[in-house]
Structure 1
Amino acid sequence: MVDFFKAETVNSDILIDETMSIVTADENFEAISGNKALFIYTRYIHPVDVSRFTEALKDYAESGKYIVVRMLYQTGEYHWMLTRITDGGVSETRGHMYEINIIDAALITTQIDNLNSQIKRYSSYLGMCENVLFSYDILNDDFNIFMTSDGHQTLSFYRGTLNAWEEDKIKTDALGLNEVKELDGFCKALANGEKLFKREITINTLNKLGRLDKCLVRGNTIVDEYGNSIVIGTIIILESSDNHVVEELNIISDMKDPGTDLLNKRAITDYVRKLIDSQPGHTVTIAIIDVDDFKTINDTYGHMFGDEVLCKVADILRDAVGSRGLCGRIGGDEMFIIMEGLNDNEGIRNVLRTIRNNTKWLYHDDPRNIKITCSIGSATYPNDAKSYDELFKIADKVLYLAKEKGKDRYIIYHEDIHREYVYGMGRIVDLNDKVFYKYHKMEVVNTIIREYKEADDARRKELIDIVAVAFNINTIAIYDRTELTKHILYGDQRMTDDDGSFFKEDNYIPNFREDGIFVIDNINFFETKAPAVYKVYSEYGIVQAVQYIIGGDIKKNNNIISYGRYKLDKKWAESDMNFLAIIGDYIGRIFLKERKHD
C-alpha cells in the first residue's frame, strides 16, 4: 500500500551511471536509504515502474525528462516521486551518467497548498488596499488596468494593446498638451521596461464620463518564470476634476454593496454593459439568484439573521464564480453574477449547481431546522440575446419560471423550450416539463426508477411521454415472445399488426450485443441481411431503432422492448443506448409482471 505522509518527505539529487549504480547522493537521500544503502538505484523503484524509468533514461533531452515513479522508503512504504532526469556527463570509468532529482509528491502537495495560501492572503490584501492596478506584458503587448474587488475577483477597466489605450485616452479624455506629454512618458516607461519608476498623469481612470483624475503611477519591471519582462504597478488617484482629494474618493466603497461587500447594482450592470459593447461576440453568461421566501426568513428569524443569510450566500457566489467573473447585488435578496468564456451548458451548470447546493446546505445542522434555498435564472450572450437588456429580461423570466416550478432550482435558458414563455407567446408549464428533459437524460432515468412502479396509469403515460421526448423517439413497444403479443406503450396504434414473430427469423437474435442491446442506425442495412424485420419496420416507417432484451440475457428466449424513430437522426449515442436499456429493463419487467398477474 502506498502511503504518502507517514515518512519524512524527500527532495534529493543523485548521480547514477549506465549500470544504474549510485555514484553520489546528497544527505537527503538518507530518508529513503537509511543506514542500509543499496548501491543500485533501481532497487529503490517499485518493480512495476522500473521499465518506465529505464526507458525514460534513453529518452531524456538536455532540458530534462520528467517521470513519476514509486520509490521505497526505509520504512517499507512506497511514495510517488516526481523524477527529473538530466545529462550527468561522461566518465572514462563509468561511461554515460545521469543526474536524477527526486521530489516526494507529498512535498509538492504541501508546497502547492502553501502557495495557494499565500496567493489567497496577498489577494485579500490587494482587495482591501482599494488601489487601481496595472500590468504590461512587453513581449505580447498586453496592457491591463484592473482592480481586485474582494480578494480574487477582478474588475477590468481596460485590456488590450498599450498604443490603442494611449490613443483612446488622448482622444476620449480630451487631454491638453502637457497631459499628453505626461501620458506619453508613462507609456514609454512601460514599453522600455523601466525599473522602479514613478510618474504623474491625468486621465479618466475609471471610465466615468466627464471626469479626469490626477494620478500618481508607480511601476516596476519584473521577469516572470518564462523570462518575459512584465511591468506591474499601481494607480493612485490624487485629485479628481471636481477637486475632491484622495481621502474623499473611496473608489471601492462607491462601487460596493455595504450589506454583502459584492458590487452594487450600478457597478455590476455598468460593467456587463461595457463588456458586451466592447467585445461583440465574446461569450458572457449572466445569472440572477433569488433567495427563496426571504421575507418569511426575515419575519421568522429577524432582520439580523436575514442579513447573515445574504452575506453567506454572497460568499457562496464568490467561491463558485471564482476567477470566472464577478458577483453583485441588484436588489433586496436578488444577486447577480457575470461569467466569461463558458462556452457550454455543462460549465454553467457546474457553477449554478454549486450555488444551489451550497445554499441549501448552509444551515443543515442548525437545531432550528432552518431551510434556505435559492432559485436561479441564467442566459448567455450572444447565443440567447444580442443586447444586455434582452439578456437580462431572459434571465429574469427564467428565474420567475424557476419560482413557478417550485423554487430551489436553476434554469438555463434554451430557446426551443423557453422562447414562448419568455416572449409572452405561451406558458412553458403547458408542456408538463417533457421537453425540458431533453437536456437532463439522467434525470429521466432517475424519475422512471423513482416513480413508475407506484404511478397510476395517467402518470405512467406522462413518464413514457417524457422518455419519448427526451430521446427523440416515435414508438415504444414491448414484445412478449412467450405469448407472441406486442404492447404499444407509445406511438402509432396500428403497429399492433405484428406479433414479433420476425425475431425468430433471419438469425436475428445473435445481432444483440452481450449486454442485451441491439442498435439499428439505418433500417436499410437490414433489407438483405434481415428481410423479415426490414419488411415490418419499413411498413410502419421506422428507420432507426434501439432494442433491448429485457433481463439482458440473449441466451434466453426473453422479451424485447423496442424504441423506434420515423426520421433518420445522428447515430445513437452510447450513453443513450445504456439509458434506454435501463429504462426498458425496469419498465418491461414491471409491465409484463403486472399483465401476468392480471
Structure 2
Amino acid sequence: MIISENHFGKENCVAYCDVLIRRNYEVINADEHFYHFVEKLVGINFLDIVHQDNLKDFKMAFETIKPGENCRMLILLRNGIGEYYWTDMVISNNGKILSGENVIEVRCYFLSAVESRYLLALDNVNKYRTILSTYRNYLFDYNSYTDMFTIYLYRGNQCNAPIKGTLEQFRERMLRILRSDSERKEFATFYNYLKNGSNMFSCMVYLPLDEHNDELYKFKVNGDSLFSINKTSVVAGYLETVDGCVSDVIPYYATSEAVDSATGLLNKRACMEYTKSVIASKDDKIHYMIMFDVDNFKSINDTYGHLFGDEVLSKIAGIINANLNGRGIAGRFGGDEFYIFTNNIKDEEALRILLTTMRKELQYAFDSRIEDFGVTLSVGVSLFPKDGTDYEELFRKADKCLYLAKEKGRNRFIIYNESKHGSLENNSRHIHKILDLSDHSEYMSGVVSDIILELVSRGKDAIDDVANNILEQFEIDGLRIYNDNSELIYSCGEYKRMPDMTNILNDKAFLSRYNKNNSMSIGIVSSVEAWHKELYNELSDSNIMAFISAWFEFKYRRYYFFYDVFNHKSRWNDSDRNFVLIISKIIASVL
C-alpha cells in the first residue's frame, strides 16, 4: 500500500468528485473527475476503492443513512494505480430514486489536492491581479446567476468598479441616455451577447464610465463566456478605447503616479480620491477607514539606522497587502503613517481578525534577527456610513481613535464608538497631542482601578464589559473561567474550539505547576508538551499558543482563570501579569 503525501502535479490527482451509488455499492453514475481518478468507466464497485481500515465505518454510515440525512467522514480511497488518498467524504441520502431504487450521493474532497490547488489559486489570484493592474483598458463581466453586470478597472492591485448593478438596471439606464438609433442598435447587440452567454464575440458600443455621469465613450468590445462551478454562465471581456478621450477620465489613483515608490502602496492623494469615489458611488456597503502609525518609529531609525527603518516600512506594506488580499486599498500617507479603506470586510468581527492578524504578524516579523525586538502599531478605525458620510468626517474620527490608541499605551487598535469616545464637536481635548507614557504600568494601574470599581459597583453584570476590556488592554484573545467541578462557567473570545479541561483541572501534575501565588504563565504552548501531553494536545487543537492561568477560592468554591493567546507566542511583563491576577481575584469574588 502506498499512501502518498504529495499528490500535486500527478495526472490522476483530482480535487473533488461526485458519485451516485446503488445500495449494493455499484457506481451507476459519476462525474469525469471520478472516472479519471479510478481509471475505469464501467463495472465499478465503490467498496473496491475504500481502504480496508475504513470499510467497516464506511459501510455502517452508508447502510444506515436515512432519507434527508447526510454524514461526513475522513477516509482513504485508492486510485487506478494503487495509491491511497485521504478524502473528506460527504454521504447524502437526498431521497433520489432511480428505477424505483433509493440511491446515495457521495462527494469526495481529496485533501492534499484541495490544499495544493488552493495554494496555487492564491498565487494565481495575485499574479492575475498584477497582470490586470498593468492593463490600460476597462474590463467587464456579467454573471447570469446573480444577474450582476460590472465594469471595472485594476491599477496597482486595486480594483475600482465605476459601473455595477443588475443587467436590466444597466439596460434601462442605457436606453435613456443613448442618443441615436444606431447607438441603441449597437447596445442591443452587446446586451444580447451578455444575456445569451455568447462565445467569442466582438462588437462596438457606447458606454458611460460613471454611475452619476451620463457622458458616453466609444469602445470596441471583446468577450467570451465560461461556466462557473454552479453551471451558470459568466461572460467576461474587455473594453478597448476607440478614441483617446477616454484616457482623460481614468482617475488619478489608477495611474502609475499614484504609487508610493518606497512601499508599492498608494500615496495619500490616491487614497483620498479613491475613498471619495467609493463614498460617492453609494454602493450600500459598509467600509472601514483604518489609520496606522508605527510606534516609536523614530527610535527604530535612531537605534538601527534608516536603512533598517525603510525595511520595516516595506515589511509593513507587505503584511498589509498580504492580509488585506484585495479587500480594499492600502496606502502610505508619508513617513510611518499608513491607511486602509476596505471594500469587503463584512463586519466588526472580521475587521478585528484582520487587524489582530496584521498587528501580531508584524510584531514578530523580525523576531529571529533581533532578540526582544518587535514592531507595533497604533490603529484608529471609523465606519462608513455609521460614523460619517464624507471623507473628512471619517478621517477625523479614525484619526481621533489613532491618537487615543497612542495615549492608551500604543500597540492596540481602537474602533470609533461615540458613546465611548465622544463626538468630535464635544471633545475639548486636542486629539493630536500624544501623551508619551514612559511608565506603562502607571497607565495600566489606572485601567485596573477602573475595572475594579466597575466590578465592585455592578457585580456579575459587569463581567462581560470587563472581559472585553481585559482582552483589548492586555493583548489577550480569549478568557475562560472554570469552577472546581471542571465546568466552564464563562468564556469570552473567538475560540476555534473550547479545550476539554475535565480531567486536567483535577490532575496533580497540572496543579503542581501553579506557583505560590496560585498562578502560572506559559509564553509558548510547545513547552507544555514535556510535562503534560493531554493539556498540550487540547491547547494545540484549540489554536491556543500561550496563556496566563490562576485560581482563587471564595465561599468554598475554587475558580480557575485562563487568559489565552491564539496562534502566536506571547511575552507578558511582570506588572501586566500581576494586574491580570488582581482583576481575576475580584472577578472570583463576585461570581
Which category describes the TM-score, using the shorter chain as reference length?
A: 0.5 to 0.7
Residues 276 and 282 in structure 1, CA contact (< 8 A), matched pair in contact too: no
- Kindly report which structure 2 residues correspond to 1:383-532, keeping only aligned pairs within 5 A, or say none: 383-419=386-422, 423-426=426-429, 463-469=448-454, 473-474=457-458, 514=485
Match for residue 277 of structure 1 among 276, 280, 293 = 280
Stretch moving more, 377-386 or 392-401: 377-386
The alpha-carbon deviation at position 374 of structure 1 amounts to 2.3
Match for residue 89 of structure 2 among 62, 82, 85 = 82
- Kindly report which structure 2 residues correspond to 1:143-162, keeping only aligned pairs within 5 A, or say none: 143-151=149-157, 153-162=158-167
User: Which residue of structure 1 aligns with residue 75 of structure 2?
Assistant: 70
The alpha-carbon deviation at position 10 of structure 1 amounts to 7.3
The alpha-carbon deviation at position 160 of structure 1 amounts to 0.8
CA distance in 2, matches of 1:268, 1:178: 40
CA distance in 1, matches of 2:411, 2:304: 20
CA distance in 2, matches of 1:309, 1:258: 15
CA distance in 2, matches of 1:134, 1:66: 41
Aligned-partner SS, 1:330? strand
The alpha-carbon deviation at position 135 of structure 1 amounts to 0.5
CA distance in 2, matches of 1:17, 1:342: 44
- Kindly report which structure 2 residues correspond to 1:167-206, keeping only aligned pairs within 5 A, or say none: 182-183=186-187, 185-205=189-209
CA distance in 1, matches of 2:320, 2:210: 25
User: Which residue of structure 1 aligns with residue 139 of structure 2?
Assistant: 133
Residues 51 and 77 in structure 2, CA contact (< 8 A), matched pair in contact too: no
Deviations 1:268-308 (A, max 9, x none): 32332232333275322110112334455556656554444
Deviations 1:537-581 (A, max 9, x none): xxxxxxxxxxxxx95587xx5799xxxxxxxxxxxxxxxxxxxx9
Matched, 1:234 2:241: no
CA distance in 2, matches of 1:518, 1:226: 44
CA distance in 2, matches of 1:381, 1:245: 26
Deviations 1:175-207 (A, max 9, x none): 677666655543443334332222344555378
Matched, 1:5 2:34: no
CA distance in 2, matches of 1:368, 1:582: 28
Residues 380 and 415 in structure 2, CA contact (< 8 A), matched pair in contact too: yes
The alpha-carbon deviation at position 379 of structure 1 amounts to 0.8
Matched, 1:381 2:390: no
CA distance in 1, matches of 2:115, 2:99: 35
Residues 253 and 266 in structure 2, CA contact (< 8 A), matched pair in contact too: no
User: Which residue of structure 2 aligns with residue 444 of structure 1?
Assistant: none
CA distance in 1, matches of 2:262, 2:35: 57
CA distance in 2, matches of 1:459, 1:223: 57
Aligned-partner SS, 2:334? coil
Aligned-partner SS, 2:262? coil
In structure 1, runs of 5+ residues without a counterpart are 31-36, 433-449, 477-511, 520-549, 561-580, 591-598
The alpha-carbon deviation at position 398 of structure 1 amounts to 1.3
Residues 74 and 87 in structure 2, CA contact (< 8 A), matched pair in contact too: yes
Deviations 1:456-494 (A, max 9, x none): xx987963531443x694369xxxxxxxxxxxxxxxxxx
- Kindly report which structure 2 residues correspond to 1:353-368, keeping only aligned pairs within 5 A, or say none: 353-367=356-370
Deviations 1:486-527 (A, max 9, x none): xxxxxxxxxxxxxxxxxxxxxxxxxx99569999xxxxxxxx
- For 1:197, the aligned partner's letter is F
The alpha-carbon deviation at position 69 of structure 1 amounts to 4.0
Q: Percent identity at matched positions?
A: 26
- For 1:391, the aligned partner's letter is L
- With structure 1 as the length reference, what TM-score do the two structures score? 0.60
CA distance in 2, matches of 1:407, 1:210: 48
Aligned-partner SS, 1:411? strand
The alpha-carbon deviation at position 144 of structure 1 amounts to 0.8
User: Which residue of structure 1 aligns with residue 219 of structure 2?
Assistant: 215
Matched, 1:123 2:129: yes
Residues 378 and 412 in structure 1, CA contact (< 8 A), matched pair in contact too: yes
CA distance in 2, matches of 1:280, 1:244: 24
Matched, 1:45 2:54: yes
Larger Rg over CA atoms: 1
Residues 255 and 266 in structure 1, CA contact (< 8 A), matched pair in contact too: yes
The alpha-carbon deviation at position 318 of structure 1 amounts to 1.4
Aligned-partner SS, 2:422? helix
The alpha-carbon deviation at position 396 of structure 1 amounts to 0.9
- For 1:82, the aligned partner's letter is M
CA distance 1:424–1:516, shift in 2 (3 Å): same
The alpha-carbon deviation at position 589 of structure 1 amounts to 9.4
CA distance in 2, matches of 1:290, 1:472: 36
The alpha-carbon deviation at position 389 of structure 1 amounts to 1.8
The alpha-carbon deviation at position 416 of structure 1 amounts to 1.6
- Kindly report which structure 2 residues correspond to 1:284-303, keeping only aligned pairs within 5 A, or say none: 284-298=287-301
Residues 13 and 101 in structure 1, CA contact (< 8 A), matched pair in contact too: yes
The alpha-carbon deviation at position 142 of structure 1 amounts to 1.0
- For 2:162, the aligned partner's letter is F
The alpha-carbon deviation at position 394 of structure 1 amounts to 0.3
CA distance in 2, matches of 1:328, 1:51: 56
The alpha-carbon deviation at position 233 of structure 1 amounts to 0.6
Deviations 1:200-234 (A, max 9, x none): 44555378989875433211122322232221011
Residues 10 and 103 in structure 1, CA contact (< 8 A), matched pair in contact too: no
Aligned-partner SS, 1:147? strand
The alpha-carbon deviation at position 419 of structure 1 amounts to 1.0
In structure 2, runs of 5+ residues without a counterpart are 40-45, 461-482, 491-550, 560-579
Aligned-partner SS, 2:132? helix
Aligned-partner SS, 2:151? strand
CA distance in 1, matches of 2:27, 2:186: 63
CA distance 1:42–1:176, shift in 2 (3 Å): closer
User: Which residue of structure 2 aligns with residue 345 of structure 1?
Assistant: 348
CA distance in 1, matches of 2:485, 2:64: 39
Residues 284 and 381 in structure 1, CA contact (< 8 A), matched pair in contact too: yes
Aligned-partner SS, 2:231? coil
Deviations 1:70-118 (A, max 9, x none): 3488999994452667989779xxx988797756433333343334443
CA distance 1:215–1:263, shift in 2 (3 Å): farther
CA distance 1:214–1:368, shift in 2 (3 Å): farther
Residues 155 and 326 in structure 1, CA contact (< 8 A), matched pair in contact too: no
- For 1:157, the aligned partner's letter is P
Residues 295 and 410 in structure 2, CA contact (< 8 A), matched pair in contact too: yes
CA distance 1:161–1:20, shift in 2 (3 Å): closer
Deviations 1:358-415 (A, max 9, x none): 2322322234976533221101122222433211110011112222333332211121
CA distance in 2, matches of 1:22, 1:228: 27
CA distance in 2, matches of 1:460, 1:59: 61
CA distance in 1, matches of 2:430, 2:275: 29
- For 1:285, the aligned partner's letter is Y
Stretch moving more, 161-170 or 402-411: 161-170
CA distance 1:42–1:85, shift in 2 (3 Å): farther
Aligned-partner SS, 1:474? helix
CA distance 1:417–1:38, shift in 2 (3 Å): closer
CA distance in 2, matches of 1:245, 1:468: 59
CA distance in 2, matches of 1:343, 1:312: 26
The alpha-carbon deviation at position 420 of structure 1 amounts to 5.5
CA distance 1:136–1:513, shift in 2 (3 Å): same
The alpha-carbon deviation at position 137 of structure 1 amounts to 2.1
